[in-house]
Structure 1
Amino acid sequence: MIAAGRKPNIEGLGLEKIGVKVGKSGIEVNNKLQTTVKNIYAAGDVVGHYLFTHVAAFQAMQIVRNIFFPGSGAINYSVVPWTTFCDPEVARCGLTEAEAREKHGDVDVFRVDLHDVDRAVAEGETKGFIKVVATRWKGKILGVHLVGPNAGEVIHEFVLAMSAGIPLRKLAGIIHVYPTFSSIVWRVAGKWLAEGTLIQTLRGIFRKGN
């Protein structure tokens, strides 16, 4: 594989002449997607954040809100999913395990392989796994990594959970259709109830008490 990369196609627009600042990654914008000229906005790959179609579309919608509804708020990149459409698909959102440990210290990591998911077994698609990185005590989801069929679809349940602050314990209590690939969400969330730091600590306390 060769990735040649991309660069913003903004040459010849004369942006500097009207006061729009351009940096190494492209047009510089604030968290409301305004350029250095406040009535000029920019979105998409030219601003150099996440070079994805879905991020560009989200940015464009945010610009419309900010133009017609002043004070509607800044854009938030803390929960940005992406998928590599290879075989099997690879999807992720949030922090990697290494990033989470660097930022939060000790974390819990839960993994379920696709060969433990009945729909994957029935379809003969058992190559892959899900890995979730969460805070040790409350099970707040910090990062999710999926490899397998429909990874780009399954990731959205975690996007919603991370955006709304829904921890693993609540995902474990949601009924999922069986058999589906999405049931892997319920499976990995259930591991928090069996293997999470909080649960293991409480079990240790009860054992000592007995």
Structure 2
Amino acid sequence: MRALLLRELRLALRHPAETLSAVLFFVLVAALFPFGVGPSPELLARLAPGALLAAALLAALLPLDRLFGAEAEDGSLDQLLLSGLHPATLAAGKALGHWLTTGVPLVLATPAAAALLNLPTEAWPAAMLALALASAILSLFGAAGAALTLGARRGGVLLPLLVLPLSIPAVIFGAAAIEAAASGLAPRPYLLLEAALLALAAPLAPLAAGAALRGE
């Protein structure tokens, strides 16, 4: 498991294009909102919580279709499955690697996107924490979706259709936490609900992904 995670990190460092494209997509979507809805600071601040979560999750989807694809093409996925590592553990490692190489950079880019959307600075910590939880949830569900669509025709089209509906509760609670922080209220209840979703997804999504990989 440790070797798998280190391998994911080394690959991300050698080929940073996927991480950079996700971060740039996130920031550019946030930059486009003032052009689409107008430059009104009040309107932008009201839209910022949902826009941040939606843009970040869409950006995190970009590298998901290659989560198992490269290993399946060169045969290393079969070797990993034969190595004695449980398929669910393999899927959990891939999900953690995706979060570390995509989710964490998106969290670090959150202040820039929040500034473009005129989100009050006092809400930035809550926005970063909400986005960290939401991206972790997406990584887990994304690993399950990537395993289920592995080898399918137009798997890249099917993957968002499987993953995004499962991520809607994370968007709702994350946006509510950011809105509460921006209004001077406590975001903790909504963050706890988001953390509960993560605790539910952490064991279930790798098991589903592992079952799909075993079927491959």
Q: Name the TM tier (shorter chain).
A: under 0.3
Larger Rg: 1
Q: TM-score scaled by structure 2?
A: 0.24
Structure with the largest fraction of strand: 1
Structure with the largest fraction of helix: 2
